[in-house]
Amino acid sequence: MEEITVNGSEIAPAVIAAEVQNHPAAKADVARTDAIRALVVRELLLQEAGRLGIVPAPVVDEDGRRETDDDALIR
């Protein structure tokens, strides 16, 4: 498996494997490509939030589940 990096930050193969389940496709390589694309975009958004100095403000839903800091930054 090739190494995936975004501006020096590696996306681990285990993270990619976990993300693949969120991208159903007729062929495994298509699902993997879609998962990698989603993770690269996520990493770019997180890096930009960091560059801009955005502070996460997680919300809690009606069931009491707290949003992760990363999800809050992306939102």
pLDDT given at position 2? 76
Structure tokens at 21: 């389940």
What predicted TM-score, i.e. pTM, was given to this entire model? 0.88
pLDDT given at position 14? 95
Each residue's pLDDT expressed in tens, for the chain with a length of 75 residues: 678 999 999 999 999 999 999 999 999 999 999 999 999 999 999 999 999 999 999 999 999 999 999 999 999
Domain segments of the chain as ranges: 4-74
Q: What are the DSSP calls for 20-39, one per residue?
A: HTTS--SSHHHHHHHHHHHH
Query: In 3D, which of 65, 46, 68, 48 has the Cα closest to residue 57?
Result: 68
